[in-house]
């Protein structure tokens, strides 16, 4: 990967607590199992390597004790690594002086904790400004910056309150604002939302995504909630017993779990919220060009045994759809052009539509639901069986879907096609 795009890089990172740490690293490297290191030695992180891109939300997930907090604490030097390296903005934390390390922690990488760590006797605004105070930013400027981020996290009007007057969700926002005020490129968030009740938690997740879109921070986010990981993560690293066992996009993790551990993790995930139209769509078969003649269109529908076809323009952007019966009628009447029967209510969805949002459109669509890219090009379709199979994580053969209208009987279609050819009428051959 190009270095400009990398905000943070970890390579061969180990953290061993307890006795004979260096020997333990060598032993682990040679393949000694973690639980044979002896009771006084804990290998919390074993050989972790990954890169986090600028502007990415990188989630670290795993069961309690799998090493998430230890890993994230090595990323800002709160824990020294037993072996391996961490690079932030191209600088190796492992090679620099304690003074420089403190500076990096203030200016490049800030942290939000699970239990907000707010100062109870200070007002909201002073809590938010606290990190800047430590940085030695002068009072007027730090208050001005603190006001800005307080507004960003939706706490305007609460600046002069004390933490005890705030709800848990609001306190968490203060913690987030404090980290944002430091204006570092990288934000580390260790179970930052875990103490919140579910509704407020979802609200904070949305807010984080909004902030992310607006400010473009690089965020490393720890959680042991897989739905949260899937919802906010661009990529997810799954940890087990100190090791990263898989790194991938939420869809990768869900559809190709690397092992049984990951598979068990993803069992409870709400697939309808993670999987998108793009991940389940099929290649569209019955598609005709807007300039195609009725005969070409009818022939295609007969060959594919479908009751309708999508109509697209030259650049594949969607125009609408046609029904076989209407096209049949055109052929019978000797009409050379499809346009009079093209229906514009195609109901197609965008590639990033969540499965959960496909049910209604799928029920309403006369054809397998169309899927459009950002330029309105028809890039796929989702037959109902495909949708149902994806929901259940089952093969399509195991699923029965409500039928769509049957295609017209082939014999009848053949008859009218032959008659049209007999009449010698030429029409443009532009079926795709
Ligand atoms: N300071 C320490 N000294 C000794 N052992 C430690 C220390 N910190 C963590 N450990 C051990 O390292 C392992 C990983 O702990 P860590 O806190 O990183 O896990 P975690 O994934 O963050 O768990 P949780 O989800 O409960 O926060 C555990 O076995 C833990 O007991
Ligand atoms: Mg932890």
CATH value at residue 97: 3.40.50.300
Q: Would you say how long the chain is, in residues? A: 432
State the CB neighbour count (10 A cutoff) for residue 53.
16
Least confident stretch, 60-74, 204-218, 293-307: 204-218
Q: Which of 52, 171, 183, 197 is closest to 113 using CA atoms? A: 171
Q: What is the DSSP letter of 314?
A: T
* pTM attached to this predicted model: 0.73
Q: How confident is the model at residue 231 (pLDDT cuts 50, 70, 90)?
A: confident
Q: Which residues crowd ion ligand 2, with CB under 5 Å? A: 69
Percent of the chain scored above 90 by pLDDT?
48
Q: Which of 269, 303, 333 lies at the terminal end of a domain, its last residue?
A: 269
Q: Give CA angle at 262 (354, 44), nearest 5°.
A: 125
Ligand closest to 65 (CA) is 1
Pocket residue to mutate for ligand 1, from 42, 79, 188, most atoms within 8 A of Cβ: 42
CB 330 within 8 A of CB 258: no
Q: Which of 269, 304, 335 lies at the terminal end of a domain, its last residue?
A: 269
Rounded to whole angstroms, the Cα distance separating 308 from 72 reads 54
pLDDT above 50 (res 431): no
Q: Which atom of ligand 1 is closest in space to residue 62's alpha carbon?
A: 21
Q: Which atom of ligand 1 is closest in space to residue 66's alpha carbon?
A: 21
Rounded to whole angstroms, the Cα distance separating 104 from 107 reads 5
90 located within any domain: yes
117 located within any domain: no
CB 122 within 8 A of CB 146: no
Q: Which atom of ligand 1 is closest in space to residue 69's alpha carbon?
A: 22
Do 260 and 282 lie in one domain? The reply is no
93 located within any domain: yes
Do 298 and 409 lie in one domain? The reply is yes
Average pLDDT over residues 209-222: 90
**Protein residue closest via CA to atom 17 of ligand 1:** 69
| Total domain count, the chain | 2
Average pLDDT, the chain: 88
Measured CA distances, 349 to 97, 289, 318, 330, 337 (Å) = 54, 20, 11, 29, 27
Do 262 and 289 lie in one domain? The reply is no
What is residue 203's predicted lDDT score, i.e. its pLDDT? 81
Rounded to 10 deg, the angle between the 324-333 and 294-304 helix axes is 140
Do 410 and 295 lie in one domain? The reply is yes
Average pLDDT over residues 186-209: 83
Domain span holding position 38? 3-108+184-269
CB 92 within 8 A of CB 267: no
Do 310 and 202 lie in one domain? The reply is no
- Between 115 and 36, whose confidence is greater? 36
**Protein residue closest via CA to atom 27 of ligand 1:** 64
For 275-332, the pLDDT digits (tens) are 889 888 998 888 999 998 999 999 999 998 889 999 999 999 999 999 999 999 999 9
> Which residues form ligand 1's pocket by a CB distance below 6 Å?
17, 42, 44, 62, 64-70, 224
Highest mean pLDDT range out of 173-187, 261-275, 325-339?
Answer: 325-339
Q: Which of 349, 367, 362 is closest to 308 using CA atoms? A: 367
Average pLDDT over residues 228-233: 90
For 389-418, the pLDDT digits (tens) are 877 766 677 666 666 778 888 888 898 888
Q: Which of 237, 269, 301 lies at the terminal end of a domain, its last residue?
A: 269
Do 208 and 332 lie in one domain? The reply is no
Rounded to whole angstroms, the Cα distance separating 69 from 225 reads 14
201 located within any domain: yes
Q: Which atom of ligand 1 is closest in space to residue 191's alpha carbon?
A: 27
Find the CATH number of the domain harbouring 396: 3.10.580.10
Q: How confident is the model at residue 89 (pLDDT cuts 50, 70, 90)?
A: confident
129 located within any domain: no
pLDDT above 60 (res 222): yes
CB 317 within 8 A of CB 392: no
- Calculate how far, in angstroms, residue 190's C-alpha sits from the geometric centre of ligand 2: 7
Residues whose CB falls within 8 Å of the CB of residue 334, separated by 6 or more in sequence, listed in order: 420, 423, 425
**Protein residue closest via CA to atom 10 of ligand 1:** 44
Do 190 and 79 lie in one domain? The reply is yes
50 located within any domain: yes
What is residue 427's predicted lDDT score, i.e. its pLDDT? 64
Within 133-280, strands assigned E span 186-190, 218-223, 235-240, 243-248
Q: What is the DSSP letter of 37?
A: S
Helix (H) or strand (E) holding 229: helix 226-232
Do 200 and 54 lie in one domain? The reply is yes
Do 301 and 236 lie in one domain? The reply is no
Using H for helix, E for strand and C for coil, what is the string for 317-371? EEEEEEEHHHHHHHHHHCCCCHHHHCECCCCCEECCCEHHHCHHHHHHCCCCEEE
Q: What is the DSSP letter of 224?
A: S
Q: How confident is the model at residue 422 (pLDDT cuts 50, 70, 90)?
A: low
Least confident stretch, 27-41, 75-89, 396-410: 396-410
pLDDT above 80 (res 56): yes
Pocket residue to mutate for ligand 1, from 69, 71, 72, 188, most atoms within 8 A of Cβ: 69
Do 88 and 43 lie in one domain? The reply is yes
Do 334 and 382 lie in one domain? The reply is yes
218 located within any domain: yes
Pocket residue to mutate for ligand 1, from 13, 48, 65, 223, most atoms within 8 A of Cβ: 65
365 located within any domain: yes
Q: How confident is the model at residue 2 (pLDDT cuts 50, 70, 90)?
A: low
Do 234 and 287 lie in one domain? The reply is no
């Amino acid at each position: 990967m190009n270095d400009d795009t990398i905000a943070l890089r970890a390579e061969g990172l180990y953290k061993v607590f307890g006795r004979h740490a260096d020997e333990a690293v060598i032993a682990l490297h040679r393949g000694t199992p973690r639980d044979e290191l002896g009771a006084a030695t804990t290998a919390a992180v074993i050989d972790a390597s990954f890169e986090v891109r600028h502007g990415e939300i990188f989630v670290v997930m795993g069961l309690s004790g799998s090493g998430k907090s230890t890993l994230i604490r090595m990323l800002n030097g709160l824990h020294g690594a037993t072996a391996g390296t961490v690079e932030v903005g191209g600088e190796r934390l492992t090679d620099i002086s304690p003074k420089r390390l403190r500076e990096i922690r203030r200016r490049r990488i800030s942290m939000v904790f699970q239990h907000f760590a707010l100062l109870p006797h200070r007002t909201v605004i002073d809590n938010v400004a606290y990190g800047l105070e430590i940085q030695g930013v002068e009072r007027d400027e730090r208050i001005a910056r603190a006001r800005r981020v307080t507004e960003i996290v939706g706490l305007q009007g609460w600046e002069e309150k004390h933490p005890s007057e705030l709800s848990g969700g609001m306190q968490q926002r203060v913690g987030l604002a404090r980290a944002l005020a430091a204006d570092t490129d990288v934000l580390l968030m260790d179970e930052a939302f875990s103490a919140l009740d579910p509704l407020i938690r979802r609200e904070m997740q949305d807010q984080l995504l909004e902030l992310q879109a607006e400010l473009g921070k690089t965020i490393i986010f720890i959680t042991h909630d897989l739905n949260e990981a899937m919802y906010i993560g661009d990529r997810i690293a799954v940890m087990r017993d100190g090791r990263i066992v898989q790194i991938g996009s939420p869809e990768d993790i869900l559809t190709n779990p690397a092992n049984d551990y990951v598979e068990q993790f993803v069992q409870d995930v709400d697939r309808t919220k993670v999987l998108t139209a793009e991940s389940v769509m099929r290649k569209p078969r019955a598609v005709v060009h807007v300039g195609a003649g009725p005969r070409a269109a009818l022939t295609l529908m007969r060959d594919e045994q479908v009751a309708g076809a999508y109509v697209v323009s030259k650049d594949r952007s969607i125009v609408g759809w046609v029904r076989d019966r209407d096209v049949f009628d055109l052929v019978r009447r000797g009409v050379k052009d499809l346009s009079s029967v093209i229906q514009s209510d195609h109901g197609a969805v965008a590639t990033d539509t969540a499965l959960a949002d496909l049910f209604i459109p799928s029920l309403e669509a006369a054809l397998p639901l169309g899927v459009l890219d950002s330029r309105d090009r028809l890039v796929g379709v989702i037959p109902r069986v495909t949708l149902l199979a994806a929901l259940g994580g089952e093969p399509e053969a195991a699923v029965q879907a409500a039928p769509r209208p049957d295609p017209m009987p082939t014999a009848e279609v053949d008859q009218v096609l032959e008659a049209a050819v007999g009449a010698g009428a030429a029409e443009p051959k532009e079926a795709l």
